[in-house]
Amino acid sequence: EAQVTQNPRYLITVTGKKLTVTCSQNMNHEYMSWYRQDPGLGLRQIYYSMNVEVTDKGDVPEGYKVSRKEKRNFPLILESPSPNQTSLYFCASGPGTPNTGELFFGEGSRLTVL
Amino acid sequence: GDSVTQMEGPVTLSEEAFLTINCTYTATGYPSLFWYVQYPGEGLQLLLKATKADDKGSNKGFEATYRKETTSFHLEKGSVQVSDSAVYFCALSDRSNTGKLIFGQGTTLQVKP
């Protein structure tokens, strides 16, 4: 089954404790991206990757890191989480950039930073 | 910068009612336009899209027409069902190679039997 898998789905952590949210897709997509969803703000792009070893900042990259060592994986790293990073995070992948094709989203990872 | 504005929710309708969710956009150039749907506890799914002016996207009884003159992409459905209850996001993608979708804030639809 074609899918984007994120882990963990739910996480409560404390300020400053490094964490990684994993994302894996099995559709051989070149494009992957991370978004955060906050009430009243819709989804905002954090980082994206056009292909292996190619990553770039989205609209809200502060406090986050990503890597793309393999085509299928695109982990999101919070080196020192803060309460303003409490949010619902979505990973997405696509065969091309969004204006040429559909984006496929994971089920989301709800993160709470105390 | 580019932006998308959706009507405020939540929208509550009875089954078989007509649905309109308004969406307007601001963009330089000629973006592609999308509607994504998020069912409870799930990720977003593409519902429909339109890539140029006057295109009509349609899927599962939903329709939206790309109106360049009014910079709008309103979502409509003639007869909603309880299973249509979800959050609907309007989005645009510019023609650059950045790969970014710009989303509206989302509109929650609740359909009652």
% of chain B exceeding 70 in pLDDT = 95
- How far apart are the CA of B107 and the nearest CA of chain A, in angstroms? 9
Is A85 an interface residue toward B (CB < 8 Å)?
no
Contact between B100 and A59 using a beta-carbon 8 Å cutoff: yes
Question: With contact defined as beta carbons under 8 Å apart, do A54 and A71 qualify?
Answer: no
Is A2 an interface residue toward B (CB < 8 Å)?
no
Question: Which residues of chain A are within 8 Å of residue B31 when distances are taken between CB atoms?
Answer: 99
Question: With contact defined as beta carbons under 8 Å apart, do A99 and B33 qualify?
Answer: no
Is A108 an interface residue toward B (CB < 8 Å)?
yes
pLDDT in tens, B53-81: 999 999 999 999 999 999 999 999 999 99
> Is residue B98 over pLDDT 70?
no
3-class SS letters over B49-93:
EECCCCCEEEECCEEEECECCCCECCEEECCCCHHHCEEEEEEEE
Is A23 an interface residue toward B (CB < 8 Å)?
no
pLDDT in tens, A10-62: 999 999 999 999 999 999 999 999 999 998 888 899 999 988 999 999 989 99
Is A75 an interface residue toward B (CB < 8 Å)?
no
Which of the 8 DSSP states describes residue B9? S
Residue type (1 letter), B26: T
Nearest CA in chain B to A58: B100
Contacts of residue A111, defined as CB under 8 A and 6 or more positions apart, other chains included, come to A11, A13, A19, A21, A78, A81, A85, A86, A87, A88, A89
Pick A51 or A96 by higher pLDDT: A51
- Nearest to residue B74, comparing CAs of B63, B84, B83? B63
| pLDDT confidence of residue B8 | 80
| pLDDT confidence of residue A52 | 93
| pLDDT confidence of residue B41 | 85
| pLDDT confidence of residue A68 | 97
Residue A99 Cα distances to A33, A94, A95, B35, B77, angstroms: 14, 10, 11, 13, 24
CA atoms of B98 and B102, how far apart (whole Å): 11
> What average pLDDT does the segment A70-91 reach?
96
Contact between B99 and A44 using a beta-carbon 8 Å cutoff: no
Q: Select from A35, A42, A99 the Cβ nearest to the Cβ of B95.
A: A99
Question: Which residues of chain A are within 8 Å of residue B97 when distances are taken between CB atoms?
Answer: 50, 97
| pLDDT confidence of residue A98 | 62
> Is residue A101 over pLDDT 70?
no
DSSP chain A: ---EEEE-SEEEE-TT--EEEEEEESS--SEEEEEEEETTTEEEEEEEEEETTEEEE-S--TT-EE--SSSSB--EEESS--GGG-EEEEEEEESS-TTTS--EE---EEEEE-
Contact between A90 and B43 using a beta-carbon 8 Å cutoff: yes
CA atoms of A104 and A101, how far apart (whole Å): 10
Nearest CA in chain B to A57: B98
| pLDDT confidence of residue A41 | 86
Band of pLDDT at residue A75, cut at 50, 70 and 90: very high
> Is residue B97 over pLDDT 70?
no
Pick A33 or A96 by higher pLDDT: A33
> Is residue B96 over pLDDT 90?
no
Mean model confidence pLDDT for chain A? 92
Instruction: Give one word for A63, left, alpha or beta, with left for phi > 0 and alpha for psi -120 to 50.
Output: left
Contact between B99 and A48 using a beta-carbon 8 Å cutoff: yes
Q: Hey, is B25 helix, strand or coil?
A: strand
> What average pLDDT does the segment B26-48 reach?
91
Is A31 an interface residue toward B (CB < 8 Å)?
yes
